[in-house]
Amino acid sequence: MSKKVFISYSHKDEHHRETLEEHLSLLQRNGHISVWHDRKITPGEEWAGSIDSNLEAADIIIFLVSSSFLASSYCQDIEVSRALKKYENKEATVISIIVRPCHWHDSGLSKLQAVPKDAKAITEWENEDAAWVDAISGLKQHISDFKSQKSIQPKALSNDKIAPTPFILEWTNDTEIKLTHRKVNKITLSDIYVAPDMELESDNDDDPIKIKSTSELAKSPSHKIIFGEEQQGKTSLLKHLFIELLKESYIPIYLDANNIKTSKIDENLRPEIERQYQNLDYETFLSAKNTAVLIDNIDDISLNAKFRNIFIKNLSESFGFILFTCHTSFSYVANDIPAFDNYMTCELLGLGNIKREEIVQKWISLGEEENIDEFELYSNCDELKSRLDTVIKRNIVPPKPIYVLMLLQMFEANSGLNLELTSYGHCYQQLIYQSFDKAKINKLDFDKYLNVLTELSWLIFTNDSDPNDSELKSFFERYCEEFLPVDQREVTKKLTDHSILCQKRATIGFKYPYIYYFFVAKKIAESYADNQKTREAVETLLESLHREDYANILIFITHHTKDSWVLNKINNVLESLFEKNQKATLDKNQLSFMNDFIKQIPELIIEQREIQKERDEHNRKLDEIERKSQDEITEADDILANINKTFKGMEIAGQIIRNRHSSLKRNVIYDLAKSGTSTGLRFLEYFIKISESSKKEVVKIIANYLTDKPDLSDKEIERHAEHAYLHLTYGVINGVIKKIGASIGSREALEIYSALETDTKTPAYNLIRQAIELQFNKTLKTESIESTAEKLKDNPVCKRILKEMVIQHTYMFPVDYKTKQQLSERLGISVQGQRLMDQRKRGKG
């Protein structure tokens, strides 16, 4: 907990006080102390009263001792006298820093310990900086050791208990958005709140970014500024921290900077203390040691720059635990506010995979937290999170808590779908409509705004850039000639004020990618049949399918239209990729070069693992991949572009199957699934051939990395290098099979993948069908696993892949011991617990 430091000194020693503050700055920045002295009294404040109140609140009292200090009547009669009483009552510790030689031993300070070493005055040291370092070392020990005996209980209230008011408790639990759920009448913030992660600057040059949970903010008193985009959950975070701080015996106060009209702290805090607490007054709050001030929207404060700085400065000097929130764009302004110089900064992050799983589980468990079956929880969680990830994918829709909750509610309601759109298309449209509602756009004008955005998106797409002011003006002039006139100023203001469009330096564009993709795709879907330029644009999209933005526009086109042309185009692209290669079969002859390697690697074991920890670790790895991946639009050489097209094409085909399985004919789904899997397997065939033909070169490269290990002979280096090569090859084969299943699979179309398996009769399709069944059906059917294992019994590589799939499933979902035993027998996998039991039995015999 932060400790309050009071510095008493003679004004003739002003420069010593300034030097002391410089040496204390790191302790202030880290939130260990807050410092006050009489130079912090603002104009108009009653100086004697201000000194008295801050002296009374102090934990650490520092005297800068000199002949001038000893000669000051106020210092000796008021400050020293009161400080010694606090010291005797163990309400504060008092430290003398001898700054100039003087007869201090003859004063009342003689009973106190003095610094620097041997009480040698600062000015008598050859190096004054060394003297200050020595003095601060002694001071830090006092700060660390001191524990005040002063109670936070105000004497005037006797034994009355300080408690938050019903108003503040109700406010902290208010989600501030309307949420409905099938099993809960009213959803509170505590029901669904998930503490987001935050990004802090790190002192480590090798790892400049440090990511921590915001839950840690309640555990470490400090001065911090929390930046976040609009609707990032800044207010909800402060509400959550308010409750968490209460649990930690703090007395938090929340202030909305919109309501701050004066720089005087007491005038801002008094009414809020009265509104937020019973049996607590301002003086008691000020003197308490465990206070925290939470200020929301500091960028919206109405004070001018001078008095804003005074307010922040005075607040910072009075309290050791302060959290400010503001919009990310305010970071540039904050850097120019002197009062923020010693503040740590952190930025709120969107909800990654770990956090999305956490909020989904909370949503699923609402109303049945104590009764929900574990398998039901995890399988429903994966189903719902998969749908969320499809919409939020790669930040197309920002992973902000409010968007996640709105989408969960849409999935929950699953009603009122526009039949002209897919279910995902409906979700995107509803998000846009809600933005229109927030902008107070009349529902009768929705079509007008939708049309403006459609035409604007087409301008941006065809120009491959956002328009500047001149181009935007020309756009609206042309628009008004072609359609009924609109007011450019009114339309752009409403759309920019409510995060549909945004100003980007000298241009204006769409705030979030999903809005841009939605409207470009809408334009293409509506005009493809009768517009040659639109058809040419589609060819451009297909040719550059490896680009993230083009692939996403194609996906959004499938949300807008059910016309067969889009499916035919995607099928044609898939069939053209790696067309010179056959599909990989993964039969035993194709993989025979890996048989010895499979025999040498360790036997697989089903270990006893905690499911949630495994799921968290899986999601953590996904978060790391997403943080490191770049969404930059870059041109690639032909082979890399084709590889990327392969995976993008499979994902598009899979999304169409999952999203339109009810309306597509069986033969259309079959053809789409076949095209997707065939493309992935042709790439795999290409990889295996390239891998085999370049084996010697790859082994040589790996061996060169091992030559710096003098304990290995040449033969051992060669053996290790070949093993690493085979491990890499096996990993790619395994990964591509799982990727095909994850991309093209669908729970509703399982019979289609079974039909493909039956028609092709290759180990590759056996594994793909099994991967889809495990991922999308969730249940582990021993009969199905046994059947697949039988088909792969003479294929060591594919059987190993099957075993890994099954074991991974047991780590991610509850599987009873009987089923594990059956798998153990049928796949030849040891179960960790069973093996220990068998060893004990053999020992007894």
DSSP per position, 236-289: HHHHHHHHHHHHTT-EEEEEEGGG---S-HHHHHHHHHHHHEES--HHHHHH-S
* 136 vs 20: CA distance, rounded Å: 8
pLDDT in tens, 314-353: 999 999 999 999 999 898 899 899 999 989 999 999 999 9
Q: Is residue 158 pLDDT above 50, yes or no? A: no
**pLDDT for res 840:** 40
Find the range with the poorest average confidence among 538-542, 609-613, 646-650: 609-613
Above 90 in pLDDT, residue 274? yes
Q: Are 35 and 21 in contact (CB under 8 A)?
A: yes
The enclosing domain of 85 has a CATH number of: 3.40.50.10140
* 518 and 544 within one domain: yes
Please tell me the predicted confidence (pLDDT) of residue 303.
94
Domain annotation covers residue 645: no
Mean pLDDT of the chain: 87
Query: C-alpha distances in angstroms, 497 versus 396, 435, 447, 502?
Result: 20, 10, 19, 8
- Check residue 87 and give its pLDDT: 86
Domain CATH code at residue 217: 3.40.50.300
Q: Please indicate, yes or no, whether residues 137 and 173 belong to a single structural domain of this protein.
A: no
Domain-located, residue 394? no
Asked whether the predicted pLDDT for residue 698 surpasses 60, the reply is yes
- Read off the pLDDT band of 473 (50, 70, 90): very high
Residue owning tokens 């108003």: 167
Domain count, the chain: 4
- pLDDT tens, 717-772? 777 777 788 888 999 999 999 999 999 999 999 999 999 999 999 999 999 999 99
CA 456 to chain centre: 31
Looking at residue 578, what is its pLDDT? 93
Considering the domain architecture, whether residues 716 and 744 belong to the same structural domain is answered as yes
Question: What predicted TM-score, i.e. pTM, was given to this entire model?
Answer: 0.75
pLDDT band of 156, cuts 50, 70, 90:
very low
The residue written with tokens 């020293």 in the block is: 80
pLDDT at position 836, please?
42
Report the pLDDT value the prediction gives residue 44, as an integer from 0 to 100: 60
Residue 479 corresponds to which tokens in the numbers above? Answer: 């628009």
C-alpha–C-alpha distance, residues 44 and 383, integer Å? 63
Three-class SS state of 226: strand
pLDDT at 838 over 50: no
Going from the C-alpha of 755 to that of each of 43, 524, 670, 760, 778, the distances in angstroms are: 84, 34, 8, 9, 20
Q: Which token pair is 178?
A: 């309307």
Task: Give yes or no: residues 330 and 423 share one domain.
Answer: no
Place of tokens 């040419």: 536
Q: What is the mean pLDDT of residues 808-829?
A: 88
Residues 168 and 122 in one domain: no
Query: Considering the domain boundaries, does residue 368 fall inside one?
Result: no
What pLDDT is recorded for position 129? 86
Q: How many whole angstroms from its chain centre is CA 83?
A: 47
**What is the maximum span of the chain, computed from C-alpha positions, in angstroms?**
103
* E strand residue ranges, 328-383: 344-348
Which residue would you say has higher pLDDT here, 435 or 706? 435
What pLDDT is stored for residue 29 in this prediction?
64
Q: Is the pLDDT of residue 134 over 60?
A: yes
Q: Residue type at 609?
A: R
pLDDT of residue 633: 46
Q: For residue 650, what are its two tokens?
A: 């499979």
pLDDT at 144: 65
Contact at 8 Å (CB) between 1 and 289?
A: yes
Q: Residue 394 — pLDDT band, cuts 50, 70, 90? A: low
> Same structural domain for residues 207 and 129?
no
Domain assignment present for 287: yes
| pLDDT tens digit sequence for 136-148 | 888 877 776 666 5
Q: What pLDDT does residue 707 have?
A: 67
pLDDT value of position 738: 95
Residue 243 has pLDDT above 50, yes or no: yes
- Write down how long the chain is: 845
426/449 Cα distance (integer angstroms): 17
Q: Do 99 and 183 fall into the same domain?
A: no
Which whole-number Å values give the CA distances from 414 to 411, 417, 688, 715, in the listed order?
5, 7, 44, 64
Strands 277-278 and 163-164: antiparallel
- Quick one: pLDDT band at residue 232, thresholds 50, 70, 90? very high
Distances (CA, A) of 176 to 172, 179, 231, 452, 682: 10, 9, 11, 31, 52
Could you check whether the bond before residue 116 is cis, i.e. omega within 30 degrees of 0?
Answer: yes
Q: What percentage of the chain has pLDDT greater than the value 90?
A: 53
- Compare 113 and 541 and report the one with higher pLDDT: 541
Of 349, 368, 395, the last residue of a domain is: 349
Contact in structure between 63 and 69 (CB atoms under 8 Å) = yes
Among the listed residues 183, 132, 95, 627, the one whose alpha carbon sits nearest the alpha carbon of residue 370: 183
pLDDT for the residue numbered 151: 42
Which region among 595-599, 622-626, 712-716 has the lowest average model confidence (pLDDT)? 712-716
Q: Evaluate whether residue 28 is within a structural domain.
A: yes
Identify the band that residue 714 occupies on the pLDDT scale cut at 50, 70 and 90. low
What are the b/e assignments for 505-544, b being 16+ CB within 10 Å?
A: eeebbbbbbbbbbbbbbbbbbebbeeeeebeebbeebbeb
Q: Which residues pair with 197 in a beta bridge?
A: 213
Identify the residue whose tokens are 């310990």: 113
Indicate whether 741 and 808 sit together in one domain: yes
* Kind and range of the H or E run holding 228: strand 223-228
Structural tokens at position 188: 């509170």
**Residue 654: which of 429, 432, 424 has the closest Cα?**
424
Domain ends where: 111, 145, 179?
145
pLDDT (0 to 100) of residue 153: 39
pLDDT of 591 higher than 60: yes
User: Averaged over 395-399, what is the pLDDT?
Assistant: 86
Rounded to 5°, angle at Cα 120 from 114 and 121: 90
Instruction: Please enumerate in sequence order all residues whose Cβ is within 8 A of that of 816, keeping only pairs 6 or more positions apart, or say none.
Output: none
Q: Residue 418 has what pLDDT?
A: 47
Same domain? 188 vs 337: yes
Question: Is there a single domain that holds both residue 218 and residue 345?
Answer: yes
Q: Are strands 605-606 and 830-831 parallel, antiparallel or unpaired?
A: parallel
Comparison of pLDDT for 336 and 637, the residue scoring more: 336
The Cα–Cα gap between 105 and 103 comes to 5
410 in any annotated domain: no
With bands split at pLDDT 50, 70 and 90, how would you rate the model's confidence at 152?
very low
What was the pLDDT predicted at 457?
97
The residue with greater pLDDT, 25 or 494, is 494
Q: What is the pLDDT of residue 105?
A: 84
Q: What three-state secondary structure class fits 346?
A: strand
406 lies in a domain?
no
The mean pLDDT value for 703-720 works out to: 68
Whether 79 is covered by a domain: the verdict is yes
31 pLDDT more than 80 = no
* Residues 180 and 325 both lie in one domain: yes
C-alpha span between 821 and 810 (Å, rounded): 12
Q: What pLDDT sits at residue 282?
A: 93
Distance CA 641, CA 636 (A): 5
More confident residue, 712 or 48: 48
pLDDT at 148: 58
Mean pLDDT, range 419-434, rounded to an integer: 80
Contact present, 487 and 495 (Cβ < 8 Å): no
**Distance between CA atoms of residues 476 and 193, nearest Å:** 43
Domain boundary at 504, 525, 552, which? Answer: 552
CB-count burial class (<10 Å; 0-12, 13-18, 19+) for 616: middle
Rg of the chain (C-alpha set): 34
| Strand-pair partners of 413 | none
Domain containing residue 193: 163-349
Same-domain check for residues 543 and 610: no
pLDDT digits 0-9 by tens, 477-509: 999 999 999 999 999 999 999 889 998 888 999
Query: What is the number of other CB atoms lying within 10 angstroms of the CB of residue 133?
Result: 12
Predicted pLDDT at 462: 95
Q: Which long-range contacts (CB under 8 A, 24 or more apart) does 624-631 make?
A: 626/352, 626/353, 626/394, 629/394, 631/394, 631/395, 631/548
Percent of the chain with pLDDT over 70: 90
Going from the C-alpha of 375 to that of each of 559, 611, 801, the distances in angstroms are 32, 11, 24
